[in-house]
Amino acid sequence: MPKREKTRIKPEREHRQIASAKLTEMGREVVKDIQEVRPPKLRIPSRSTSNIIYDEANRYFVLGPRYGVRSAASIKQVKKFAQFLCTADFAKKLIESGKFATLREMYYTAEGWDAGPFSDQGESDMIIEDLEATFGLKRENLGLTPEEDGAAVFGKLMVNEDGVVIDATKAGRAGYTIPPTIDDVEFLKCKAKRVIAIETMGMYHRFVQEQAWKKFDALIVGLKGQAARATRRFLKRAHDELGLPIYLFTDGDPFGFHIAMVVISGSAKLAYINHELAVPDAQFLGVTASDIVDYKLPTDKLRELDVARLKQLMKDPRYNTEFWQSEIKKMLELGKKAEQQAFSKYGLSYVVKEYLPAKLGLKS
């Protein structure tokens, strides 16, 4: 497969400069309204289901044109309005200081705000999402990160993280841990030809033990289930900046399908930043209903929840292709699902030595 032309990705510091400028401009508008004796208002893109649209051209969810107005003149809205401004001010100070804070830290910091504390972290997280949607930025651009790091990557990749050069083949048995601030990490050298992202960490460690990164000239990425935003951003950068094709290996069940599709086409919840996260050209290599039959895999019976979820996926525009419609229908007919580890029936190394080479069209 020919390499894609590399795309320049803006470093995180540039995104933070843009964020700082946008926060400053918003503050000036609020001050101007107050000076001219007008109740300040904010236009915030609606993230309701009815305003989330699947963009057929780009192949991911985006926000539609609808906006909501939050006004300081409304008794019902004034507290949220004030909390929004306090959150913006908190983010501005983080950017200016070059520091980061976790979402949890911000939630507790709000206990000391004049605007009043949040009732729970879910409420503060929603305000941060309002900020992201309003400015079309990621929370990391605003100096805010989740508690946990992303997943791990193993393979021929060297990066510069905060002035420290790290070799992903020498960063310990688990590989290089993808940080929340992945856009601050510089890719120095990459000799891999592809990325294979794996749903479960158990199978990720199997791939590392079997040296799949050498066999497939690949970066092996462990997703840890539903991929964190930092992991998805890493995959996006590896595809766009390094020109690497992305392959996704997940369980053969509706939730494994969903994990892969969130990487491919983004999620409805993050429609406002899917352009920063989605990898529409990523290819699914996971366990299919056809694999269950062809490889005579050990299976589990579909639960009612699985059946309902599969029927939902059939109506989801992201799955509106011949491949997905056929495989989902076949799984419903079988009434069975299978995990990645089911290939262990043929030996621990079978999935690396036989299954993946066949899927990738490589010699085993």
Q: Is 354 helix (H, G, I), strand (E, B) or coil?
A: helix
Query: Mean pLDDT for the chain?
Result: 92
Q: Are 65 and 52 in contact (CB under 8 A)?
A: no
Nearest-angstrom CA–CA distance, 213 and 364: 14
Contacts of 224 (CB under 8 A, 6+ apart): 151, 201, 231
pLDDT for 149 equals 64
Domains along the chain?
12-145 (1.10.10.10), 152-360 (3.40.1360.10)
pLDDT of residue 22: 95
Predicted confidence at residue 3, as pLDDT, reads: 46
Active site members: 108
Whether 103 and 145 have beta carbons less than 8 Å apart is answered as: yes
Q: Are strands 246-249 and 194-198 parallel, antiparallel or unpaired?
A: parallel
| For residues 156-174, average pLDDT | 92
> How far is residue 335 CA from its own chain's centroid?
30
For 92-129, write each residue's pLDDT tens digit: 999 999 889 999 999 999 999 988 899 999 999 999 99
Task: Lowest mean pLDDT of 67-71, 151-155, 169-173, name the range.
Answer: 169-173
The per-residue pLDDT for 2 is 41
Between 75 and 246, the higher pLDDT residue: 246
Over residues 55-77, the mean pLDDT reads 93
Write down the pTM of the prediction: 0.88
- The pLDDT score that the predictor gives to residue 364 is 56
pLDDT-derived band at 150 (thresholds 50, 70, 90) equals low
* pLDDT tens readout for residues 266-316: 999 999 999 999 999 999 999 999 999 999 999 999 999 999 999 999 999
Per-residue model confidence (pLDDT) at position 70? 92
Whether the pLDDT of residue 324 is over 90: the answer is: yes
For 1-32, how does the pLDDT look when each residue is reduced to its tens digit (9 = 90+)?
444 445 545 556 788 899 999 999 999 999 99
Find out whether 263 and 318 touch, Cβ atoms under 8 Å: no
CA distances from 321 to 52, 287, 313 (A): 20, 17, 11
pLDDT tens digits, one per residue of 206-243: 999 999 999 999 999 999 999 999 999 999 999 999 99
- The predicted pLDDT at position 363 comes to 66
